[in-house]
Amino acid sequence: MMSAPVDLHIHSNKSSDGSFSPSQIVAFAYENRMQAISITDHDTLAAYPEALQCEHANDVEVIPSVELTTRLDDREFHILLPFIEWESEDMQNLIRQVAGRRIQEAKHRVEKLRSLGMDITWEDVLHEAGFFPPLGVTIAMAFLKKAKDKGNPVHLKYYETKRSGFNPYRFYKDHFEEGKPAFVPRRNLNVVDVLKKAKQAGSVPILAHPGAAFMHVDRNDVILLKNAGLEGMEVFTSYHDENQTEFYGNIAAEFDLVKTAGSDFHGSIKPHIPFGYLQAGDYKIVEELKKRRP
């Protein structure tokens, strides 16, 4: 059988910023003739078991995973955990810890926005997030959907129709990044601690989109993460240009990390990333990851 595309970084509506259900995601993968996928929602395993039980789950290999938000010094690092034992109590406890910290961070962000005179409540955020750990862009979406704010000239730029899909991210950069008026210090668990616990739960940890601007991953970071249990690096991703793909591909090869592929598909919030557009990864990635399972 000829190897078909795989995508190990996809978000469903169990992420606070995803558009489609786990069942729909698996159906999309079937329609796109993909061989394997991972639904990697932010700090939640709520996509499972639906993703494993839906129609076409026997036609597309669904690899349980999650995207955990962690910390290294003052930077946010995102870790993918394919093959995670998602039903294990240890893993559920880890998820609860990560999610709990994310919720406290989100509440503090809402308080900061309210102190700036913005009309947003925690209930608005929960309505947008669907009771899953809300991201900064989720808070931005909740705020921007309040119609009465459209008349405020300060916020008009976030309603430009030509870039509507990107506007929550623009709001995030203007308000939540370090040095901005609603910045909140990270409360995430340390990435080294998470890597060690994740391997104990059967996963093969992957560093997501190392070239993302908020991560600034360099060679020294990779040495630290490799020693802590990192097994893969997302080299092929919507975050990387050609130069970054080559750069991180070389680092992955140097440290014997599996070069993985993930689109970071979300749906409406990232209209520039259609489902199935990333064709760089094939099933050899999955085979190599399986060899490294604890």
Spatial neighbors of 216 by CB under 8 A, at least 6 apart, are: 75
Segment holding 262, helix H or strand E: strand 258-262
- pTM equals 0.88
The Cα-based distances of 214 to 99, 108, 111, 181 in angstroms read 20, 20, 23, 17
Sequential pLDDT tens for the chain (294 residues): 346 799 999 999 998 889 999 999 999 999 999 999 999 999 999 999 999 999 898 899 999 999 999 999 888 899 999 999 999 988 888 888 988 998 999 999 999 999 999 989 999 999 988 878 898 989 998 998 875 556 676 777 777 665 555 588 889 989 999 899 999 988 889 999 999 888 888 899 999 999 998 888 999 999 999 999 999 999 999 999 999 999 999 999 999 999 999 999 999 888 889 999 898 889 999 999 999 998
Q: Say if residues 80 and 205 touch (Cβ distance below 8 Å).
A: yes
Q: Is the preceding peptide bond at 49 cis, omega within 30 degrees of 0?
A: yes
Q: Say if residues 142 and 135 touch (Cβ distance below 8 Å).
A: no
Measured CA to CA, the distance from residue 11 to residue 69 in angstroms comes to 14
Q: Where are the domains of the chain?
A: 106-175
pLDDT in the model for residue 247: 96
pLDDT in the model for residue 2: 45
Measured CA to CA, the distance from residue 33 to residue 290 in angstroms comes to 21
Q: Which residues of 59-89 are buried (b: 16+ CB within 10 A; e: fewer)?
A: ebebbbbbbbbbbbeebebbbbbbbbbbeee
